[in-house]
């Protein structure tokens, strides 16, 4: 394949990554952040699958059979435990604004600079080779595709290609990894790009898998049957207990369980980039599913490769590329290349960011802070300094990885370097797991544990490979150091029969955990260590109170604190942050001296940018701190513990009190409402009485004062007076009526009645007004309705009221009123439907209230007293019935009341 | 002079409306009538009356809103507004005056008193 095409494809792919990251950051600026999506989080965790997974799994499966799966079974087993472990780590990291593993360990053990440096160095030494093999994977896949993998065809440009790729990745990492310095250290664009890469690498692997399984062979069955005929391949299916394979399984699984937590890149995506603890819920099943999917075709490809290249002239790590090439499937080969490229680049990018944060915050900054002269130069731009340190370290890390890839990596397969890296980061496990569950774990224990574990790791796992490379004499391996057999690196203290990795992990962990526990127990913690230990272990109860468990005491001037913060956050943000904090804790920012709470808070803010240890140094440098004795710390912590307990008790009591109060309030509210209703009712009644009274008085005064007025007009006035007097007396009757119903004094005089007769009587009573307005009245009786017990006059009153309302709201000459009765299941339904103006939805319930307009003065008063429907409702309810309305504005209303037939 | 003054009567009660119309006409004013706030505002903008006899509780746009509108519109703010309302609590009257009413007459009212009060307002307009 043409190397130009490959270079172009690689560049295009990098451009695509830039695009995705850029797009994601733009979206996030618009408030449509992608990382709020739990699927993105779960996919970003798949950064676990590197080029090692992509190319190396096949190679591993060829050499060791299904044992390669241990690396995926570990994380799968770990995922359910994430809810316990990672959630706690995430919570701690959020509360303390922790941005790397080094920061985490250093912060836990008293914000200790030494520990931060150790962790950073171990990470660098452990993970650099891992980055290097990713670069190596890219370049070797390139060579295979361009068929320049034989030394004769070697081309100087290709060596440089790895270099260019490293630098290109460096650029990407700088752009999306160090653009902003923030106290959360999240990189949304990068995470989105990583998630996209996770999809691409899985897709590429599956496509090649399908090609091999179904294109070249006849499905899984075919490949496995053919492989089973091969005695050597057949053994790869089986777990063979003889070679200590079970112990390998155990150690490899345990190792990958710790790797999924403590690899710097995993910590970065799982903890630092996490925006929501709930995303864990999705990741807990989605990530194992991803591992399953990307592993389905490993064995078919491995066996396929063995069957297709029986002469072993192809490195099994390269089967994924070699098989498509053998069949001249160029596009597929290119797709594989891109898949591997994405697996490698995502790992390199995130690992580099994670390492650069450690290098700047836990290694360089604490050292620089010891030299005020250097810091002084950056007086107003400390965040710029941090950023520059990070940028430089990104390039240096990549450069070192490049050199390693060229010089040493060729001696090892992908997987072995990966496992050695896993073993390195596993050294963090005791300090972290112990740190979040065991309060006694202290700084000395952590330092000695880490150092001894790392030393053993180096001696048992790194030294043999250096011997293999000829750097150290072979005799050490065979005879032991200084000829002492017990010190043989691969059979330490005579332990034989384990594979190298298991052996190394066993001994390093043995010394690491042993020293951590024993030194923690024999040495004493300092006050700051104790404070951190308690708040880390009890984070879920402390996270709300962490502002209160302040053990800092001393004198710091607000102005100094402010200046320090401005160096990192700028003036505007600093002032805003300070003001908000002061508001929350009712502090006075006018005071010259800073409140201890504010000092602690500022330190935490700074920790997010420069790490806990550096932040500690900076705050100490601008304040005069008092020593706090151990007893005092214990007292403060106990007080806060008691505060929490008291708070719980208090909360319970206050909830009870609140409940009682709200019940009282409610009762009072009801009383008030009833009172107000009564008030409203009275004032509405008064208003309703005054209205006709006004007409009566005015009109009769006019008639009295104007004996010479027009005869016709006089008659009109006088008839209006009569009408208004009627209205007045009707109103008074209704008020009294309603009062009877409400007080329960109204009794029904029941007799055996026929609903049809009642309806007919009511229609007859309104015959005249309906006719005058030109309104058609239709009655559709249900002849099967039985007679029943009811108060005849009262029911007539209801129906007359409903029909006269209908007449009122119908348009003259166009109105039509339909009255119907239905007998259904022991109840008689009577409905009065008109084609009038209708009633708006919001009033449909209110119209049955007396003077419903009293609630809202601007609603049109219904003509009439406003009591008719209220009384009708009371009458129906006295009959154990119900009344309701269905209506739409402009399409008429239908009032229905139901009376049970007992 | 009086003949030229325009009086707008606004009320949704036919009985009250007809009596006010009669009274004002008899006094020689040019009388307009409206049955709700919206109709009133149409007439106000078109005719710019000198005096408005205004009911408060009306459908759609109520008397308060009409008054507020008139008093806050530069070319209308000179119009004298007389609230006529069955809301006759002390607080109702205070609210009426606060909104900008020139007079608040509780219902039911004496026609003679009302007429003389309106006439006094009209005189004020004429002499100013």
pLDDT averaged over consecutive 10-residue blocks of chain A (902 residues)?
Answer: 78 86 80 78 90 83 80 88 86 82 88 88 89 83 71 51 79 76 68 90 91 86 82 68 69 87 90 85 90 89 85 81 84 88 88 89 82 69 78 89 75 68 89 87 89 90 76 72 73 74 88 91 80 78 53 71 78 77 75 78 78 75 64 57 62 77 82 76 81 92 90 91 89 84 84 91 89 90 89 91 88 89 90 88 77 47 66 90 89 91 80
Give dist(CA A328, CA A333) in Å, integer.
8
Burial A477-499 (b: 16+ CB within 10 A, else e): beebbeeeeebbbbbbeebeebb
Contact (Cβ atoms closer than 8 angstroms) between residue A287 and residue A85: no
Q: Which residue has the tokens 């719980």?
A: A648
**For A306-318, b where at least 16 C-beta lie within 10 A, e where not — what string?**
bbbbeeeebbbbb
Please enumerate in sequence order all residues whose Cβ is within 8 A of that of B77, keeping only pairs 6 or more positions apart, or say none: B70, B71
Task: Give the CATH number of the domain where residue B30 resides.
Answer: 3.40.50.2300
Q: Is B13 on the interface with A (CB under 8 A)?
A: yes
Residues 6 or more apart whose Cβ sits within 8 Å of residue A686: B86
C-beta of residue B50 within 8 angstroms of C-beta of residue B79: yes
Interface test with B, best of A712, A840, A858 (most B CBs within 10 A): A858
| Number of structural domains found in chain B | 1
**ipTM of this complex:** 0.91
Q: Nearest-5° angle of CA A92, CA A95, CA A100?
A: 60
Interacting residues of A155 by C-beta distance below 8 A, sequence separation 6+: A148
Radius of gyration of chain B (CA): 13
Closest CA to B13 of A856, A690, A802: A690
Question: Helix crossing, A630-705 with A527-537: angle to 10°?
Answer: 50
CB atoms closer than 10 angstroms to residue A772: 10
Task: Look at residues B68, B86, B88, B77 and name the one whose alpha carbon lies nearest to residue B48.
Answer: B77
| Count, residues in chain A | 902
Query: For residue A563, what is the enclosing H or E element?
Result: helix A558-569
* pLDDT confidence band for B118 (50 / 70 / 90): very high
Q: What is the DSSP letter of A310?
A: T
How much of chain B, in percent, has pLDDT values that exceed 70? 96
Closest CA to A342 of A383, A386, A294: A294
Contact B70, B44 (CB under 8 A): yes
- What tokens appear for A380 in the block? 């107003």
| Residues on chain A touching B14 (C-beta within 8 angstroms) | 695, 720
Helix (H) or strand (E) holding A91: helix A85-96
pLDDT score at A897: 94
Nearest-5° Cα angle at A513, A512 to A514: 90
Task: Please report the sign of the dihedral spanned by the C-alpha atoms of residue A215, residue A218, residue A222, residue A226.
Answer: negative
Q: A838: left (phi > 0), else alpha (psi -120 to 50), else beta?
A: left
Of A209, A201, A156, A202, nearest to A13 by C-alpha is A201
Between CA A713 and CA A703 the distance in angstroms is 9
Q: Considering only CB atoms, which chain A residues are within 8 Å of B16?
A: 691, 694-695, 698
Show residues of chain A in contact with B88, CB under 8 Å: 690
Q: To 5 degrees, how large is the angle CA B89–CA B92–CA B95?
A: 150
Cα–Cα distance for residue pair B117/A680, rounded to 1 Å: 31
Give one DSSP letter per residue of A370-427, joined into a string. Answer: T-HHHHHHTTT-HHHHHHHHHHHHHHHHHHHHHHHHHHTGGGS-HHHHHHHHHHHHHT
Cβ of B13 within 8 Å of Cβ of A694? The answer is: yes
Can you tell me the distance from the alpha carbon of B3 to that of B119, in angstroms, rounded to the nearest whole number? 12
- What's the confidence (pLDDT) of residue A545? 47
Query: Are A688 and A851 in contact, with CB atoms under 8 Å apart?
Result: yes
Residues of chain B contacting residue A690, judged by C-beta atoms under 8 Å apart: 86, 88, 107-108
| Count of C-beta atoms within a 10 Å radius of residue A161 | 21
- As given in the structure block, the two tokens for residue A671 are 């009383």
Q: Distance (Å) from the C-alpha of residue A835 to the closest C-alpha of chain B?
A: 22
Distance CA B94, CA B97 (A): 5
Q: Which of A685, A695, A720, A722 to mutate to test the interface with B (most CBs of B within 10 A)?
A: A695
- Stated pTM of the model: 0.60
Q: Three-state SS for B74?
A: coil
Contact B55, B16 (CB under 8 A): yes
Distance CA A19, CA A11 (A): 12
Q: Which residue of A has its CA nearest to B55?
A: A691
Q: Which domains does chain A have, with CATH numbers?
A: 3-413 (1.20.1730.10), 427-542 (no CATH), 547-628 (no CATH), 633-743 (1.10.287.130), 751-900 (3.30.565.10)
Q: Confirm or reject contact between B38 and chain A (CB < 8 A).
A: no
Provide the pLDDT confidence category of residue B22 given band limits of 50, 70 and 90. very high
Do residues A786 and A821 lie in contact, with contact meaning Cβ atoms separated by under 8 Å? no
Contact between A54 and A201 (Cβ < 8 Å): yes
With beta carbons less than 8 A apart as the criterion, state whether A93 and A104 touch.
Answer: yes
What 3-state DSSP class applies to B32?
strand
Report which secondary-structure segment, H or E, holds B51. Answer: strand B51-55
A·B CB contacts under 8 A: 79
Rounded Cα distance, A862 and A848, in Å: 12
Closest residue, chain B, to A727 (C-alpha): B15
- Strands in B103-106's sheet, in edge-to-edge order, are B30-34, B6-10, B51-55, B80-85, B103-106
Q: What tokens were used for B20?
A: 């006010």
- Supply the range of the domain harboring residue B43: 2-127
Pull the structure tokens for residue A644. Answer: 């929490």
Cross-chain CB nearest to B22 (options A686, A696, A702): A702
Nearest-CA neighbor of A503 among A252, A875, A286? A252
* H or E element, residue A790: strand A788-790
pLDDT of residue A578: 80
Matching residue, tokens 């009526």: A737
Instruction: Quote the CA–CA distance of A755 and A753 in Å, as a whole number.
Output: 6
Nearest CA in chain A to B15: A695
Nearest-CA distance A780 → chain B (Å): 35
Nearest to B15 among A686, A695, A705 (CB): A695
> Which residues in chain A touch residue B108, judged by CB atoms under 8 angstroms apart?
690, 693-694, 696-698
Kindly report whether the peptide bond that precedes residue B40 is cis, defined as omega within 30 degrees of 0: no
A705 contacts B60? CB cut-off 8 A: no
Identify all chain A residues contacting B95, using CB atoms and an 8 Å cutoff: none
Residue contact B19–A857, C-beta within 8 A: no
- Lookup result for tokens 């106290």: A183
CB atoms B111 and A705 under 8 Å: yes
Contact A694 B109 (CB under 8 A): yes
> Which chain A residues have a beta carbon less than 8 Å from that of B57?
687, 857, 861
Distance from CA of A810 to the nearest CA of B (A): 18
**Nearest by CB: B108 against A694, A706, A713:** A694
Would you give the DSSP letter of residue A242? Answer: G
Asked whether A186 and A39 are in contact (CB, 8 A), the reply is no
Among the listed residues A346, A60, A57, the one whose alpha carbon sits nearest the alpha carbon of residue A194: A346
Tokens 């790194």 found at: A462
How big, in percent rounded to 5, are the helix, strand and coil portions of chain A?
Answer: 75, 5, 20
Q: Are B112 and A705 in contact (CB under 8 A)?
A: yes
With CB atoms and an 8 Å threshold, state whether A720 touches B14: yes
Whether B18 and chain A come into contact, CB under 8 Å, resolves to yes
Residues from chain A contacting residue B58 (CB–CB below 8 Å): 860
| Exposure string for A626-649, b = 16+ CB within 10 A, e = fewer | eebeeeebeebbeebbeebeeeee
Chain-wide mean pLDDT for chain B? 89
């Amino acid at each position: 394949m043409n190397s130009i095409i490959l270079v172009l494809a690689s560049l295009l792919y990098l451009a695509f990554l830039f695009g995705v990251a850029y797009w994601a950051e733009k979206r996030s600026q618009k408030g449509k952040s992608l990382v709020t999506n739990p699927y993105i989080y779960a996919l970003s965790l798949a950064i676990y699958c590197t080029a090692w997974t992509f190319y190396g799994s096949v190679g591993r499966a060829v050499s060791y059979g299904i044992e390669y799966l241990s690396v995926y079974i570990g994380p799968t087993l770990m995922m359910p435990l994430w809810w316990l472990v990672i959630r706690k780590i995430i919570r701690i990291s959020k509360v303390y604004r922790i941005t790397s593993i080094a920061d985490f360990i250093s912060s836990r053990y008293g914000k200790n600079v030494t520990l931060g440096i150790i962790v950073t160095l171990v990470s660098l030494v452990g993970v650099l080779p891992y980055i290097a093999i990713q670069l190596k994977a890219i370049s070797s896949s390139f060579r295979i595709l361009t068929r320049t993998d034989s030394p004769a065809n070697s081309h100087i440009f290709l060596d440089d290609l790895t270099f260019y790729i490293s630098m290109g990745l460096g650029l990407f990492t700088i752009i999306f990894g160090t653009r902003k310095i923030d106290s959360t250290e999240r990189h949304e664009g990068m995470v989105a790009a990583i998630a996209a890469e996770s999809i691409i690498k899985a897709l590429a692997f599956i496509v090649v898998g399908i090609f091999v399984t179904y294109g070249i062979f006849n499905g899984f069955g075919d490949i496995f049957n053919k492989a089973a005929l091969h005695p050597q391949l057949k053994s790869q299916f089986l777990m063979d207990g003889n070679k200590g394979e079970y112990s390998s399984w155990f150690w490899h699984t345990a190792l990958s369980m710790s790797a999924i937590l403590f690899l710097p890149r995993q910590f970065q995506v799982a903890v630092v980039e996490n925006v929501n603890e709930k995303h864990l819920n999705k990741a807990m099943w989605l990530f194992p599913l991803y591992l399953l999917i990307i592993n389905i075709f490993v064995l078919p490809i491995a066996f396929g490769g063995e069957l297709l290249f029986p002469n072993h002239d192809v490195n099994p790590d390269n089967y994924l590329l070699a098989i498509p090439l053998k069949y001249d499937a160029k596009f597929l080969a290119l797709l594989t290349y891109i898949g591997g490229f994405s697996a490698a680049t995502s790992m390199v990018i995130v690992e580099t960011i994670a390492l650069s944060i450690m290098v700047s915050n836990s290694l360089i900054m604490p050292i620089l802070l010891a030299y005020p002269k250097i810091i002084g130069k950056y007086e107003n731009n400390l965040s710029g300094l941090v950023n520059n340190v990070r940028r430089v370290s990104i390039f240096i890390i990549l450069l070192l990885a490049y050199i390693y890839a060229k010089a040493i990596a060729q001696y090892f397969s992908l997987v072995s370097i990966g496992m050695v890296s896993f073993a390195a980061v596993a050294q963090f496990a005791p300090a972290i797991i112990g740190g979040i569950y065991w309060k006694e774990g202290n700084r000395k224990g952590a330092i000695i544990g880490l150092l001894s574990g790392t030393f053993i790791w180096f001696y048992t796992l790194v030294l043999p490979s250096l011997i293999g490379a000829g750097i150290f004499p072979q005799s050490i391996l065979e005879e032991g150091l200084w000829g002492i057999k017990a010190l043989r690196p691969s059979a330490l203290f005579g332990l034989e029969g384990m594979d190298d990795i298991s052996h190394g992990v066993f001994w390093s962990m043995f010394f690491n955990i042993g020293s951590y526990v024993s030194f923690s127990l024999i040495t004493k913690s300092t006050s700051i260590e104790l404070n951190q230990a308690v708040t880390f272990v009890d984070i879920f109860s402390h996270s709300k109170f962490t502002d209160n468990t302040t053990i800092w005491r001393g004198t710091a001037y607000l102005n100094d604190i402010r200046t320090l913060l401005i160096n990192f956050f700028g003036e505007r943000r600093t002032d805003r942050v300070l003001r908000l904090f002061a508001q929350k804790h009712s502090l006075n920012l006018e005071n010259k001296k800073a409140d201890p709470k504010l000092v602690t808070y500022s330190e935490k803010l700074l920790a997010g940018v420069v790490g806990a240890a550096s932040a500690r140094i900076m705050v100490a440098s601008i304040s005069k701190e008092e020593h706090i004795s151990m007893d005092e710390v214990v007292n403060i912590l106990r007080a806060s513990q008691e505060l929490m307990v008291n708070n719980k008790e208090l909360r319970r009591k206050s909830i009870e009190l609140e409940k009682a109060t709200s019940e009282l309030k409610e009762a009072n509210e009801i009383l008030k409402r009833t009172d107000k209703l009564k008030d409203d009712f009275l004032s509405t009644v008064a208003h309703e009485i005054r209205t006709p009274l006004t007409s009566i008085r005015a009109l009769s005064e006019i008639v009295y004062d104007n004996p010479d007025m027009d005869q016709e007009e006089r008659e009109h006035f006088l008839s209006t007076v009569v009408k208004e007097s009627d209205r007045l007396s009707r109103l008074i009757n209704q008020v009294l009526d309603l009062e009877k119903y409400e007080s329960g004094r109204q009794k029904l005089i029941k007799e055996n009645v026929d609903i049809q007769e009642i309806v007919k009587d009511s229609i007859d009573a309104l015959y005249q007004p309906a006719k005058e307005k030109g309104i058609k009245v239709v009655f559709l009786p249900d002849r099967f309705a039985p007679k029943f017990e009811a108060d005849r006059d009262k029911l007539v009153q209801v129906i007359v009221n409903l029909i006269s309302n209908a007449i009122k709201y119908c348009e003259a000459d166009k109105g039509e009123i339909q009255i119907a009765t239905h007998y259904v299941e022991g109840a008689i339904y009577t409905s009065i439907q008109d084609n009038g103006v209708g009633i708006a939805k919001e009033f449909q319930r209110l119209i049955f209230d007396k003077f419903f307009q009293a609630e809202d003065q601007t609603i049109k008063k219904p003509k009439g007293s406003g009591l008719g429907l209220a009384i009708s409702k009371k009458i129906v309810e006295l009959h154990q019935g119900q009344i309701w309305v269905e209506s739409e504005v402009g399409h008429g209303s239908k009032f229905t009341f139901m009376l049970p037939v007992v | 002079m009086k003949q030229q003054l325009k009086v707008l009567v606004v009320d949704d009660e036919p009985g009250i409306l007809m009596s006010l119309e009669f009274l004002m006409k008899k006094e020689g004013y040019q009388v307009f009538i409206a049955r709700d706030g919206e109709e009133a505002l149409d007439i106000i903008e078109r005719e710019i009356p000198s005096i408005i006899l205004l009911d408060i509780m009306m459908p759609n746009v109520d008397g308060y809103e009409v008054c507020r509108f008139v008093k806050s519109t530069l070319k209308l703010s000179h119009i004298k507004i007389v609230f006529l309302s069955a809301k006759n609590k002390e607080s109702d009257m205070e609210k009426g005056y606060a909104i900008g009413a020139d007079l608040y007459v509780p219902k039911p009212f004496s026609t003679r008193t009302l007429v003389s009060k309106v006439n006094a307002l009209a005189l004020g307009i004429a002499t100013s």
